[in-house]
Amino acid sequence: MSRDLLYRSARQIAADVRTGKISAAEVARAFLDRIEATDGQLKAFITLSPIAEPPNPAGPLAGVPVVLKDNLCTRDVPTTCGSKILRDYRAPYEATVVTRLRAAGATILGKTNLDEFAMGSSTENSAFFTTRNPWDLDRVPGGSSGGSAAAVAAGQACAALGSDTGGSIRQPAALCGVVGFKPTYGRVSRYGLVAFGSSLDQIGPITRDVADAALLLQVIGGPDPLDSTSLPDPPPDYLNQIERDIRGLRIGLPKEYFGEGLDSEVRARVMEALKLLESRGATLTDVELPLTPYAIATYYIVAPSEASSNLARYDGVHYGHRTEASGSLIDLYARSRAEGFGPEVRRRIILGTFALSSDRIDAYYHRAQRVRRLIARDFERAFRLVDVIAGPTSPTAAFRIGEKAADPLSMYLCDVYTVSANLAGIPGLSVPCGFTSSDLPVGLQILGRALDDLTVLQVGRAYERETGPMTRRPPLPAPSS
């Protein structure tokens, strides 16, 4: 099968399957061959799924090969969350987004690697193995949806779903040179997503172009009676409204996103992208998000606190790993959790438990929630002046495996430009905008008002139209013709 098929858009694959130019089985076989040829190097997959003909060969995603971050529940294969504590866990139900993908005709190829329980920015925290960046196998793919982003970039899948709690879709998309979209909180049902930070988590697509992201969002979005936080109104027709003339569009540039810590080459590529949009009629306007310096500290109180609560259920009794050591009930709990959770998960549980303790909850958790609201107000004020806010997705391109592993704070700062969107509940998109001199991808981040996911996608699509589809491919083995 030709390399062209592996990098064809989801829209084109679905159209070809619907018209009978190619069968869903042929498409699946081509991508499975690609996985077999490359995943020994890349390590993007935890589990491959049994493949069957799509239930809806006339659907909008007919035959489109999609992979899932392994914190989305599926009946056919285990849901591990990249953790020993759930190594063999099989969910008795499927996530709403998975049900909707299947109904639309998608072929689910498998489950991809992630930082354990989605806690990390490099996919080095997986209990099983480290996924590698397809552009440079000595570097990380980002995280926590690193397996999903790497698989799409490497031609192992046409599209993927990830989850974004503080940048976990957008940051790996930037580091792997693909498109990643975090919708407005509530736009996509979280039912069946294994919870990390319930007020922050959101499921979204990782694709090779913005139009495919719009298509997937159209399929997986919308109200869900199984998720009380899902928005009640149906989403707009993203795909058919994505083309837009951006003349007169106001793009805000926060000075806080272009200061200390931003790599000079990343800055250069992002500014080139913004100047291109300006040359097509958009207006660049300086804006201020003054509470940005407090976003990381706020996030690392709110998110671990919610994680501490959500992960309390993994106790060695109900399901998941159970210690073989004997002892009291308390020993059973403690040993099961110590054996099952990795060091980063344990660190965040301890942080969250501390922040929620009765004598410290006001000083930490309640104060962080107040700052969170002020961060959201920063965005509200900025959006009175502009239509979208833009800047870098990540302060650097992909870093080397092990480079930040011993320095948690340095790792946490990888998400300095992304966590604010989760705290505020607004949509965010990362679009590839060039390469560094080391041939590493750079991402442009576009943020929008809550519920205005369409404008964010339109701006990303406008940039993509000007630059054309990315033709460079990662230097992995080419498939046979």
* DSSP characters over 283-340: EEEEE--TTGGGHHHHHHHHHHHHHHHHGGG-SSSSSS--------HHHHHHHHHHHH
Output b/e per residue, 49-61; b: 16+ Cβ within 10 A. bebeebebeebbb
Name beta bridge partners: 69: 112
Owner of token pair 């190594």: 87
The H or E element containing residue 112 is: strand 107-112
Q: Does the annotation mark 144 as catalytic?
A: yes
Backbone region of residue 248 per phi and psi (left: phi > 0; alpha: psi in -120 to 50; beta: other values): left
Instruction: Choose the catalytic residue: 83, 126, 144, 163.
Output: 144
Element (H, E) at 277: helix 264-279
**Using CA atoms, how far apart are residues 24 and 53, in angstroms rounded to an integer?**
6
Classify the phi-psi angles of 66: left when phi > 0, otherwise alpha if psi is within -120 to 50, otherwise beta. beta
Residue 353's alpha-carbon distances to 26, 29, 72, in angstroms, are 50, 47, 25
Which of 121, 122, 126, 168 is the catalytic position? 168
| Of 9, 43, 69, 83, catalytic | 69
Active-site residue 168, yes or no? Answer: yes
| Rg of the chain on CA atoms, in Å | 21
How many CA atoms, within 13 angstroms, populate the side-chain half-sphere of residue 231? 17
The residues that bridge with 435 in the sheet, in sequence order, are 441
Give the single-character DSSP code of 133. B
309 is catalytic: no
Decide: 109 and 50 in contact? Cβ < 8 Å: no
Catalytic residues: 69, 144, 168
